[in-house]
Amino acid sequence: MFLLVQEGVEARYLEGIPAQIVYLPKQGPLPAEAAQAEFAVAPYGSARRFFDELPNLEALKVVQTLTAGVDWILPKLPPHLILCDAAGVHDTPVSEWVVGAILSAIKRFPEFRDAQREQRWAYQWVGDLEGSTVLFLGYGSIARATERRLEPFGVQFIRVARSARESIYGFSELPDWLPQADIVINLLPLTPQTEKLCGAGFFAQMKPGALFVNAGRGRTVDQDALIEALKAKRIRFVSDVTDPEPLPEGHPLWSLPEVFFTPHMAGSTHKLFERGFRLVREQVERYLRGEPLVNVVVREKGY
């Protein structure tokens, strides 16, 4: 079987994959073997060439991403293709980012860093995590990994997801739980159901002074409502994502107080491709054995 991967992927990540590797070149003609590839790894980063060549990939059946979110690729894939996301691959780095972001906000590290640059000895009292209530908005593998890392701090958890299940509440119950949360962690994927879910009503229901952490998608948040809540000093905000990305010059989030964000890098660690292609190897092995693939995206359920 032929496996299509982006040109430039290091050979060490492809060791042990039971397939003939075909590289999608960044420029130039497509290799003849590419038309025989049944399995493809969607490029990480710019994927324009991949989408341009899709009509020429006649044998293609499965597309595996290296990203947990698939909102960027789902509308561009023909419906007959099986799409698998990389759930699990980013659990460690993103959950570490969330914990680090919470601690830096509570301990006010960004403010102390600013004061250091200005050579000011800016003593102030800060908070701590013990006894806080943390609400997860979206409860998948990254949320579970984050919860494990937060447990030693002595916090309580509220879990909210699109579908209610045991110990997890549905979106309809958010008004009951948001006022109780000291920290709200948004880990939602972007879907028609979640777009701008965090709007004016959402922020009005949050506990005054609560910390809103966004490691999901920027478009799950109504940016105008967020800015108004921040200007009113209702909430604090730390985020790895914005809408749009990159944030344009002059945007209010650059300069509003109680705001700290990073440039969508929470999952961008040096072990990404090691973990990602470990999943690819497992998926190819499953495919060749005729076993069900993992992380299959169910489009009919709204992803």
Q: Label residue 47 by pLDDT band (50, 70, 90).
A: confident
Which is higher by pLDDT, 47 or 109?
109
Could you tell me the fold of the domain covering 91-261?
Rossmann fold (3.40.50)
* Residues in contact with 203: Cβ distance below 8 Å, sequence separation at least 6, in sequence order: 212, 225, 226, 228, 229, 234, 235
Q: How far apart are alpha carbons 167 and 17 in whole angstroms?
A: 39
Q: Residue 244, preceding bond cis, omega within 30 degrees?
A: yes
Can 2-89+269-301 and 91-261 be said to share one CATH topology?
Answer: yes
pLDDT at 301 over 70: no
CA distance 296 to 100: 30
Taking residues 3-17, what's their average pLDDT? 96
46: pLDDT strictly greater than 90:
no
Nearest residue to 288 via CA among 10, 7, 16: 16
What's the token pair of residue 28? 């130039």
Mean pLDDT rounded to a whole number for the chain: 96
pLDDT the model gives residue 165: 92
Assign domain 2-89+269-301 to its CATH superfamily: NAD(P)-binding Rossmann-like Domain (3.40.50.720)
In the 8-state DSSP scheme, what is residue 199?
-
pLDDT tens column, 260-289: 999 999 999 999 999 999 999 999 999 999
β-sheet bridge partners, residue 28: none
The whole-number average pLDDT for the span 249-260 is 96
Predicted confidence (pLDDT) at residue 79 exceeds the cutoff of 70 = yes
Phi, psi of 152 (to 5 degrees): -65, -15
The pTM score is: 0.94
pLDDT in tens, 91-135: 999 999 999 999 999 999 999 999 999 999 999 999 999 999 999
Tell me: the pLDDT tens digits for 192-227?
999 999 999 999 999 999 999 999 999 999 999 999
Residue 294, pLDDT score:
98
- Residue recorded with tokens 């979106």: 171
Mean pLDDT value of segment 8-17: 96
Strand ranges, E, within 180-274:
183-186, 210-214, 235-239, 259-261
Domain boundaries along the sequence of the chain: 2-89+269-301, 91-261
Q: Region 71-82: what's the mean pLDDT?
A: 94
pLDDT of residue 300: 72
